[in-house]
């Protein structure tokens, strides 16, 4: 994430004007928490998806206190390659995990709630089994 990318995003996506700069690192950390779910919805995991799954957009909207999805979609569009490339180097804070789970638990996308840890869906009717 560099200043040039951020400035270009602000020019391209006016919906980002209302976000504070502190929300960009938070978005990166939330994306780290959402990645296992996002990857479970993908065929090719080498590149980030063009758009986030609707459940994840809803989680991010709640966790970032956004009334509509435009800022979330703009952040993903702008930083998705940066996020996908450095995700393992970003460490989420306990506060981020708590906020993420507050909005994701009811959607079935929560972090640290699969026991035992598994990489595939355990639901017998799941298409990703």
Domain residue limits, the chain: 3-107
Average pLDDT, whole number, for the chain?
Answer: 83
pLDDT for the residue numbered 20 = 83
> What CA–CA distance (Å, rounded) separates 43 from 32?
19
Using an 8 Å Cβ cutoff, are 61 and 67 in contact?
yes
Query: Which pTM was predicted?
Result: 0.77
Task: Label residue 1 by pLDDT band (50, 70, 90).
Answer: low
44 falls in which pLDDT band (50, 70, 90)? confident
Are 75 and 83 within 8 A, CB to CB?
Answer: no
> Which tens digit of pLDDT belongs to each residue from 82-102?
888 875 567 788 899 889 889
- The mean-pLDDT minimum among 70-79, 100-109, 113-122 falls in 113-122
């Amino acid at each position: 994430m560099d200043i040039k990318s951020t400035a270009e995003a602000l020019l391209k996506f006016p919906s980002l004007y209302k976000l504070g700069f502190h929300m960009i690192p938070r978005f990166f950390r939330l994306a780290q928490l959402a990645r296992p779910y996002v990857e479970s919805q993908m065929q090719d995991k080498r590149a980030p998806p063009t758009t986030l799954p609707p459940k994840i957009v809803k989680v991010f909207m709640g966790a970032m206190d956004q009334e509509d999805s435009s800022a979330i979609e703009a952040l993903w569009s702008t930083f998705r390659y940066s996020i996908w490339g450095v995700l393992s180097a970003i460490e989420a804070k306990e506060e981020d995990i708590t906020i993420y789970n507050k909005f994701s638990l009811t959607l079935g996308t929560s972090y640290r709630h699969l026991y035992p840890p598994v990489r595939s869906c355990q639901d017998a009717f799941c298409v990703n089994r």
